[in-house]
Chain A
């Protein structure tokens, strides 16, 4: 349960709400038990009295209190259920809000290497599912056992009216039964959840391979061969799915049957008590009916066990690095470097020195091989090379996103490792190769660069990337929603929006990774001219396919096989 500890701790601040929610759940169950038990008592009592009257015996039965009780329970069950659902869903959504915020903060403290792993891995695919599992931890995992236990105690108390010993026995038997159901579901759930996750990840990967490799596999005539792998993964994944679903169904059926058996045995015991004069007929009938009403609160226990197991697996996946959602500050993403970091910003245009830097990837391939480049303060250097040759790695190293395997990079005379990252980021602008846009308005996307930016500033930046006319033509202008569930931007438009964001800053050092990708020639020329002008007052490094794909620079270098030459 260790992985769940931070989430349980988080629940603690909701103690009040959670208790009210559990009480409402219990009131619902208790009303159900009351309704059925009282109805059984009432019918039997009336039947007995009716039989006496028919036999000419003067008998009376107070009917208004039980009748009113039955009506009250019927209404209170409905009302309690309705408010319980509303109230608990509100709690769950509050938890969801907190969890998202905390998980995001936790992720934002990851160091760049961990971040890269996060982006490429399966974690991102599952992130929202995992968070949903955890926000449902209380409602679907923790509260059902508590409510079930309270309901069992209530039924035990009702049985004690007839025979205290029977109440005690039933409490023990049902608690053991419910506990076993929960425990078994938790244990098998853990094992099967892991297996299901692994097998469905394999299926996903092989399906993805089949799609991305369609050209190769078709051409080589190996489609059938690879399809076997997909089919195998599919069968495997389905088998595990089936197994977990069937086990849960069987578990539920057996638990239900256990409650039914208990009810039948209680019935026989109660009738025996009635015949030996130890209890009245109506009470004897009320007893098994009260047990039958437990089907509802107990029936959800196997699902609750599975839910707990799944929540634990989700928590495990989310425990990245060493931080926890309660204290994300622990993992500040700066590695093991204990040196005092430079927290003083770049005073002016910095010089940049790349000294004998090498970067090793995969199985020992040198992506960057003993690279040395010196960039003077205020100079703009262009580095070109075909895609994949390591340009983006240079950019990422300069921005401190990945670490060189050997050699040193200094900015303004300070080694990049000795900078406080946020200090450095404040003075540099780094346009990554990948365009990161955020679902939100144009304005929202631009304000990422400058929170306080006013509209004229945004229009100026948009004009520099030739996007002003387009934004103005949209229905809501700067407030038009782009991205997910909003307006689709073309790759070129997205790129220009990302560039506009860079233009909104006033950095000393600029790193542009393929700034003009996706732009048509005419726009590229215009944007390029604006970039050249803007770069003249800053130190700059621009990376691209070739000189034609970047603004005018002071010096052009060619990167090939991990090293540079002054090719142009």
Chain B
């Protein structure tokens, strides 16, 4: 029963747009209904008439136009704002002077004369990669309403944060913790900057994996430092791997280890005031609770960029005290590492 129901729903997507039963997007809430009521709209899949057109062109176009400088097929929002209501490509009411139609007919005047490239639009129709005839597309443009107001501004349910990239995590954490490359690299030879970097054991160094030249113009020696960079979601430029935009367990798994290792390095580093601003490891909560809380407040502000509330300082103090009995260093590492794993640290 359950399967039959799902098949029923999924098969409902094929009526108008062929086998192209999905696509990304659904953003562009303001566009909903902008072209509603058309027989072209497949209520089962497309959010509105523009979405129906998008899905009907997707297989022919999305391969090249999901990213790059013209990512029209990345989402419905991208399709509408980048193509549909972009007078460069579509002139509402005037298909014969719309570049989109000219390109599909092989009559473009720029670098690309024909879209899709390499085949005609008729070929795309014949193979099922496109589902609307040129005449249907012209009709859509003739009936295209003006851009609705909601598309002018940002969507009210827009995604307002993103995770830090691997590069941002590494550089921000080193800076915030008062660490420099010398804390990770063997600097025993005066010429170390002119040689491949040799990472010291037990420091958990992180470095771009694609062997990008370092300060010295040469390459990094430690493959594990690169592996950690990739695990954090960093790109591999030489192999054309993009950044991971999610915060997968592999990234957090690395950040958990790195946060504790690097916070420990920062606490141990002589003269480093990044974590222990005024107190020392000799100071205990029984006699220096005010000073410890002041440092916790400063550390939280340094790491997260917003002043902590009193309750948040008390929570950090509680975490510190839990570990202080074992060692004050453990208490500071715990607090520091907790701030690195804080939602406001891992996002921008």
**Is chain B a partner of chain A in the same complex?**
no
Q: Give the interface of B toward A (CB within 8 A).
A: none
